[in-house]
Amino acid sequence: MRIKSLSLLVSLAVLAAISSAPAAENPPAATYADWAIGPYLQSPTPTAMTICFVSDHAADVSIRVKPGAQNAWISHPAIGTLIPNTAATVWKCRLKNLAPNTAYEYSLDHTANNTKVTGKTYTFKTPSLNNTETRWIVLNDVHNRMATVDALMEHVSPHDYEFSILLGDCWNDPTWGKSGETIMKTLESFIRNLHGHEKPILYVRGNHEWRGYFADKHGYLFDLPNLDPTASRYEQNYYFSFAAGPVRFLFADCGEDGNKREELFQPYRQRQTQWLADEIKKPEYASGKYRIFASHIPLFNENQWHAGRCRELWSSTLAQANLDLALAAHDHQWRVLKKNCACVNKKCEHCGQSGVCPHSPPYPLVIGGGPSLKEGTVMLLQADSANLSMRMQNCAGTVIAEFAGMARE
């Protein structure tokens, strides 16, 4: 489903104004209206999948699904929730009791202007934790600059990934304004570029997504295991664990950068300290061949730090987590830091602008690039029975960095 052409709407509005109404001195600005975005996949597990859809006018949304060509279609109603103080309704349908490692065809049907609209048929596949291999991609710090995503994804084949991760600051200070046009067009572009109708998009929050008047409502657009978007801003839990094939992920939310509004962010970070400690004790975490920690802000960095409070709270737990790799963003300068490398931060907010603050990541750490065509990066990762590997490409499709780690016995 694509956004209707804004230029067509503008043209129709202008024609209508010419033919039926006296000329206005200041004609109203064209509004972004009559849009529908999706479907897109969220929160995959071996036995469940959430299908989402957002629109300012759709009604009676339902999902038809069938496993395999021989089976009959089954229809499931989607639940619509109006995002407060917006024109947008987000529709979600959680499909449960699915078979692991199985392909399902589905379509999203809805009613628009009293007309039934039958959606295109898509296919998704449920994950299997018995799979010995998985592939995924990571984008970060897009800051609404979708031309960068267009350029990056020109050089990525859909066969290169089963799911994608947005590692924070992909939206820039989200504010709905009158129409929410930027927020929705950014979402539409991610779904189109990342094949989000057939490959789940995992969302990790960045510090810029804590900013803007839409920040406490942004969560309505996603389905994350611990997130209640109706909760107050600092009670919304974006952190979650995830499993795919041989990999176990821990996704944390650092909150704002630096020491901003510590009285509000520290309790949220402290909740994640306990959550991390609980997660790494779970048998399903230990059962993974590879363990990856991901956060928007790197806990260790040679550049401006910004995550001192998270490092203080989480690093002793993470040191016990047997991590094979950490993924991060935020810096707008890509880099690959080796395990136990010596990072010297020349401008540390904790040690002072002239202070030297040596620290060392207890795991390999890959940091993605920034929003411009010059800075943009996509990470392509693969885990199989022998290796965990990453290659990073720029907007020209050139491989600019690589990482390879061996599987532990």
Shortest reach from residue 90's CB to Fe ion, in Å? 25
Query: What is the x/- site pattern for Fe ion, positions 214-253, by CB under 5 A?
Result: ----------------------------------------
- Provide the mask over 81-120, with x wherever binding to Fe ion is found by CB under 5 A and - wherever it is not: ----------------------------------------
Asked if residue 207 binds Fe ion (CB under 5 A), the reply is yes
**Rounded to the nearest whole angstrom, what is the least distance from the CB of residue 31 to Fe ion in the complex?**
31
Which window, 21-29, 90-98, 236-244, 322-330, contacts Fe ion (CB under 5 A)?
A: 322-330
Element spanning 166, H or E: strand 163-167
Contacting residues for 380 by C-beta, under 8 A, at least 6 apart: 135, 137, 156, 160, 161, 390, 391, 392, 393
x/- mask, Fe ion, residues 329-348, rule CB under 5 A, reads -x------------------
Stretch that binds Fe ion, among 90-98, 120-128, 203-211, 238-246 (CB under 5 A): 203-211
Vertex 239 angle, CA 217 and 208, to 5°: 50
Query: With respect to Fe ion, which residue has the nearer C-beta, 309 or 330?
Result: 330
Give DSSP secondary structure letters for 25-63.
SSPPPPP--S-EEEEEEEEEETTEEEEEEEESS-EEEEE
Q: Cβ-count burial of 379 within 10 angstroms (0-12 exposed, 13-18 middle, 19+ buried)?
A: buried
Element (H, E) at 288: none
Q: Binding marks (x or -) toward Fe ion, 162..191, rule CB under 5 A? A: -------x----------------------
Asked if 356 and 345 count as a contact pair (C-beta separation under 8 A), the reply is yes
Rounded Cα distance between 63 and 76, Å, is: 5
For the chain, helix, strand, coil in percent to 5 are 20, 30, 50
Decide: is 206 part of the binding site for Fe ion (CB under 5 A): yes
The residue among 248 and 330 lying less far from Fe ion, judged by its C-beta, is: 330
Question: What's the min distance (Å) between Cβ of 257 and Fe ion?
Answer: 6
Give min distance, CB of 367 to Fe ion, in A.
11
Beta strands in 245-346 (DSSP E): 247-251, 290-294, 325-328, 335-337, 343-345
Using CB positions, name the residue nearest to Fe ion: 330
Binding of Fe ion at residue 205 (CB under 5 A)? no
Which amino acid does the sequence have at 260?
Answer: K
Can you say whether the dihedral through the CA atoms of 391, 290, 226, 130 is positive or negative?
positive
User: Which residue lies nearer to Fe ion by CB, 152 or 329?
Assistant: 329
Report the nearest approach of Fe ion to the CB of residue 3 (Å): 27
CB of 231 to Fe ion, least distance (A): 23
Give the residues lining the site for Fe ion (CB under 5 A): 169, 206-207, 330
